[in-house]
Amino acid sequence: MATTQDPLLLMREAIRTNSAMIPTTSADNLDAPVEVPIPQATHLVFSQSPRVALPIDTPTRFVNNENKTIDLRSCFFVWSVRESTFPSYNAAAAKLSEELPGDGSVYSFAWVERLELIAYLEGSSEESEFIKRLPGDKDGAAAASATSTAALKAAPAAGQARSGRGTLDPRLLQIYNGERRMGDRNTVLRGIKPTDFSHVRKLAQLFMARKPSPSATNIANNPALALNQKPQRRPDPIILLSPSASALLRLSNVKSFLENGRYTPTDRSSTASMLHISRLMKDIDPNRPMRFILVEGPEQFRPEYWNRVVAVFTTGQAWQFKNYRWSNPTELFRHVQGIYLGWRGEPAPETVRAFGHRVLSCAVEKWRDPTAPGAEQSRWRDREVVESIWKAIEANMRTKGWRKDAAPTSI
């Protein structure tokens, strides 16, 4: 049992390979673990090869806003109920804390914390402000190779310890034992004995004093810049959808529309509470796509989240804005780009027209049965509508101060 492996990387690898993560009461029988409910579990078994069992209360690299380290049980529980709405998740987390024996409890993630953890585990995000990097990992390469390296070292021992069904081929064990172990950069540079290079600093000071670098001069002239200040990651912009049942765009069909340029009817059975879409905003960051967060309501918003809202889809119904930071539509659309989507040939509601030019009014062809003659030909205008929506969003983002490495602090 490899207890030194990183819990988050093990979870991410299990999700990538569709391997089971099994809560159990013992780490002895890894070949056939008995699954138990989370309140009774003491270990979590990762069924990818080689199998690994970690205590379920193992600390992870996830650190919340209060600098508290979150345990493996809390992270596994978040992933197991990832399809639930945020209020349902909070209720389930409170119930689980009551069922845990003794003083055990499960951490209740905040809305953004839960979002960041799920995105990291499913592989849509490579880093997060809440997840500490592995020691020595500056470019993300160490994180990607840590699991495979640990698995390679553990494979011979695991194969020798196992017997019966699943025993590794002896020839494969011989190959593993004959492998040359690669060291990290520290062992390559320093060798087997630690070397003191502190004297080099005194020699370098002579050259640094003669010609200081421009960056060092800027920092020295600006006391507001900390010497060890790390660049902050640009937050993801947020798009708010209308929760109205009459809205043409909901979480069930907005991804296919905004990403693929094709309108499909809403799925009323969908229970998703949020999702991500990616879009290359060439005038803001031409080198990498921006990830947008889409939600239907601001119930879990913190005050600073409103500075990340870049668009609001509306049907013109005033009750939609009741819990918004700006409940008056006229004031709201002074800060955020408004978008109305209706059927082609039907006029926009009077309330939408009253909002003025700050709300972009778009229309798509009415949905027809795909099997009907000419149904597919009527959808060719969808992409044109999508491009006009993204053009308005991008223009508003540039005006509010979105840049490739920064987001506005106030809109």
112 and 253 share one domain: no
pLDDT of residue 147: 44
pLDDT of residue 364: 93
CB-based burial of residue 297 (10 Å sphere; 0-12 exposed, 13-18 middle, 19+ buried)? middle
Residue that terminates a domain, selected from 119, 148, 177: 148
Which pLDDT tens digit goes with each residue over 59-84?
999 999 888 999 999 999 999 999 88
138 and 27 share one domain: yes
With a CB cutoff of 8 Å and minimum separation 6, the contacts of 171 are none
Domain ranges, residue 92: 7-148
Residue at 251 is within a domain: yes
pLDDT of residue 188: 60
With a CB cutoff of 8 Å and minimum separation 6, the contacts of 408 are 307, 400, 401, 402
DSSP secondary-structure letter at 157?
H
Which pair of tokens denotes residue 406?
């920064």
Q: For 322-381, list the strands marked E by DSSP.
A: 337-343, 359-364
Q: CA 348 → CA 120, 276, 365, distances in Å?
A: 40, 28, 14
pLDDT of residue 193: 59
140 and 269 share one domain: no
132 and 243 share one domain: no
253 and 380 share one domain: yes
Q: Where are the alpha helices (DSSP H) in 191-304?
A: 198-210, 214-221, 254-260
CATH of the domain at 366: 3.40.50.11990
Residue that terminates a domain, selected from 127, 148, 169: 148
Which pLDDT tens digit goes with each residue over 252-292?
999 999 998 999 998 877 777 889 999 999 999 998 899 99
Q: How many domains does the chain have?
A: 2
* Percentages of the chain per state (helix, strand, coil), in multiples of 5: 40, 15, 50
Residue at 371 is within a domain: yes
Amino acid identity at 217: T
Residue at 233 is within a domain: no
Residue that terminates a domain, selected from 108, 124, 148: 148
Residue at 158 is within a domain: no
118 and 250 share one domain: no
| Residue closest to 46 by CA, chosen among 6, 97, 104, 94 | 6
- Cα(179)–Cα(191) distance, integer angstroms: 19
Residue at 70 is within a domain: yes
390 and 252 share one domain: yes
- Low-confidence stretches of the chain (pLDDT beneath 50): 1-3, 139-165, 216, 226
